[in-house]
């Protein structure tokens, strides 16, 4: 049996313009800028996790590992309280961010899907869309 994983610590999205991406994730999504890595990228705090924003062209050219390089849009889902979904819908609309889709999984509030300026698909979702191991629910900081 493998050692236990606690959670996703970081995930990476690829962008063309780091400053534009930082502004979007700070001003629209509400993440906190933690660090900038010259023109290569930035780290943004998302609750207890980190979203890395890397310029794919520079990351692919790096000789150091890990390269964090890929091409094409990615996806990340941000976990929210169920009662926050309507507020997110209004917030996005008020900021002129089109909601691409609202998808309902089971008896849960709908997940909201939208794109960042680089085409990455961002999802606002509740944890209960996944059938997580109940031992994780007991340690759930959101109390869901």
Stated as kind and residue range, the H or E segment containing 78 is: strand 75-79
Stated as kind and residue range, the H or E segment containing 6 is: none
Among 83, 88, 77, 41, which Cα is nearest to 62's?
41
Q: Quick: pLDDT tens for 2-40.
A: 546 667 778 889 999 999 999 999 999 999 999 998 888
Query: Which segments in the chain show pLDDT lower than 50?
Result: 3
- Residue 64: CB atoms within 10 A of its CB come to 7
Domains belonging to the chain, first-starting first, are 10-138 (3.10.180.10)
C-alpha distances in Å from residue 117, one per residue of 13, 19, 28, 92, 93: 12, 11, 11, 14, 15
Would you state the pLDDT for residue 3?
Answer: 46
Would you state the pLDDT for residue 44?
Answer: 93
What is the sign of the dihedral through the CA atoms of 21, 120, 62 and 11? positive
Alpha-carbon gap, residue 113 to 1, rounded angstroms: 36
């Amino acid at each position: 049996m493998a050692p236990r994983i606690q959670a996703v610590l970081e995930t990476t999205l690829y962008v063309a313009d780091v400053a534009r991406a930082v502004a979007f994730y700070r001003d629209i999504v509400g993440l906190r800028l933690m660090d900038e890595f010259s023109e290569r990228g930035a780290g943004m705090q998302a609750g207890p996790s980190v979203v890395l924003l890397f310029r794919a062209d520079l990351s692919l050219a790096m000789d150091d590992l890990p390269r964090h390089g890929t091409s094409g849009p990615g996806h990340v889902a941000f976990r929210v309280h169920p009662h926050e979904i309507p507020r997110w819908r209004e917030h996005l609309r008020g900021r002129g961010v089109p909601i691409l889709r609202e998808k309902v999984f089971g008896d849960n509030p709908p997940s909201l899907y939208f794109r960042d300026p680089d085409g990455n698909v961002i999802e606002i979702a509740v944890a209960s869309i996944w059938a997580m191991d109940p031992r994780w629910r007991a340690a759930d900081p959101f109390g869901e």
